[in-house]
Amino acid sequence: MHLEAFTLAKNPNDAARNEDRYVVVPGRAYAVIDGVSDKTGLRYNGLTGGQAAGQAVEEIIREVCRIERPETIEADWLSARLQERFRTLLDEIRASGTSEAPPATWFGAQLALALEGRTAFRFIVIGDSGLRLNGREVFRFRQPLDDICAAIRKAVWNHLGARGVPAALKNEIARAYTVEGLAAVLPRWMDWIDENTLPGLRQKAIADAARIQRKLDHAVIEKAVLGGLREQNLYINRIHPLGSPCINGFPIPHEFIMQFDRNIDDVETIELFTDGYFGYPNGTRVADWEEHLARIEAVDPEKTGDYASTKGSANGLFTDDRTVLILRRAFCPVERSVV
């Protein structure tokens, strides 16, 4: 297999804060890992929470590949090993006296993994990092709460835009309501959103979220619109309409973990990617992924249109870190780019 890979921090001038990573164990394992941003801002041995989480996942992948044949590695067993590693990591941090914060607020990671066996690839996906096979089949977990909170941000953003609020302030207010939800007026921003305007914003966000998440009950969407991103921990690794998987040291429900095999002869390309690309290109090269994102940045940099998100790009910063790792059977020049 021929390898091509690329990773970039959301701040291109601060690569040290990139919480994405890719892993290559030649002939055995290939992965992309998205470390979940740690809202506390604490550092652990110089690493952000997301970086520490990503490093822990990488350590386990490399370790199990030394002692097990790739085709024998089962997703549930791997998940248990990851939980054990995270518990050890948390114990180490507690012992150091860094913090007493609950583990769920410290660390988390999303994983897309390809294991190369003798006759077949085994694929394991945990979370919203994704996998695309042969440029056609996509496998990833779409987090419903992200769609709902993106609808909150979009409603607030458009309301503020209609009132002529400057871009920087608009972004600050929209982000605040995305996190806190639309249950109550935020006093700091009462000049732009008050008790008279808030109900209308709720209805717009609920309607937009319902259009995207058609299978969700209206009451579930309404509750999530009121609660915002601050309630995300309520649904991590929980069987619930808003439930979502995350590698964070706690048991991950079997239903949240994807595992399947493909005969090697049926695999032409494997693309592993984190969620910073907002969709997928037509082509299967790193250049195609980068051109795809460039088009999105040109038409919807704030991520309040067709590519609505809980954050946007501004002031030279991208919306998120991004990483893609591509394997192909046919020969092509190898590119490895790490920025």
Residues 6+ apart with CB under 8 A from 121: 114, 115, 261, 262, 264, 267, 270
User: Is residue 177 assigned to a domain?
Assistant: yes
DSSP 110: E
Q: Mean pLDDT throughout 125-153?
A: 96
Nearest to 185 by CA among 198, 175, 201: 198
What does the alpha-carbon distance between residue 268 and residue 273 come to, in Å, rounded to a whole number? 17
Residues 255 and 131 in one domain: yes
Residues 211 and 264 in one domain: no
Cβ atoms of 229 and 244 within 8 Å: the answer is no
Cβ atoms of 4 and 335 within 8 Å: the answer is yes
Residues 152 and 112 in one domain: no
Listing DSSP states for 263-300 in one string gives EGGG-SEEEEE-GGG-S--SS-SHHHHHHHHHHHHHH-
What's the pLDDT score for residue 87?
86
Identify which has the larger pLDDT, 329 or 58: 58
Among 180, 200, 234, the domain boundary falls at: 234
Residues 172 and 44 in one domain: no
21: CATH: 3.60.40.10
Domain total of the chain: 2
pLDDT digits (tens, 9 = 90+) for 267-315: 999 999 999 999 999 999 999 999 999 999 999 999 999 999 999 999 8
pLDDT digits (tens, 9 = 90+) for 43-65: 777 788 889 899 999 999 999 99
Residues 8 and 134 in one domain: yes
Give the percent of the chain with pLDDT over 90: 81
pLDDT digits (tens, 9 = 90+) for 211-247: 999 999 999 999 999 999 999 889 999 999 999 999 9
Q: Where are the alpha helices (DSSP H) in 181-315?
A: 198-212, 218-227, 286-299
User: Is residue 309 assigned to a domain?
Assistant: yes
User: Is residue 240 assigned to a domain?
Assistant: no
The torsion angles phi and psi of 272, rounded to 5 degrees, stand at -110, 130
> What pTM, to 2 d.p., does this model score?
0.91
Query: Which domain does 191 fall in, by range?
Result: 145-234
Residues 6+ apart with CB under 8 A from 166: none
Beta bridge partners of 124: 113, 259
Comparing 76-90, 202-216, 289-303, which segment has the lowest mean pLDDT? 76-90
User: Is residue 239 assigned to a domain?
Assistant: no
What's the pLDDT score for residue 247?
93
Residues 155 and 259 in one domain: no
Among 213, 234, 255, the domain boundary falls at: 234
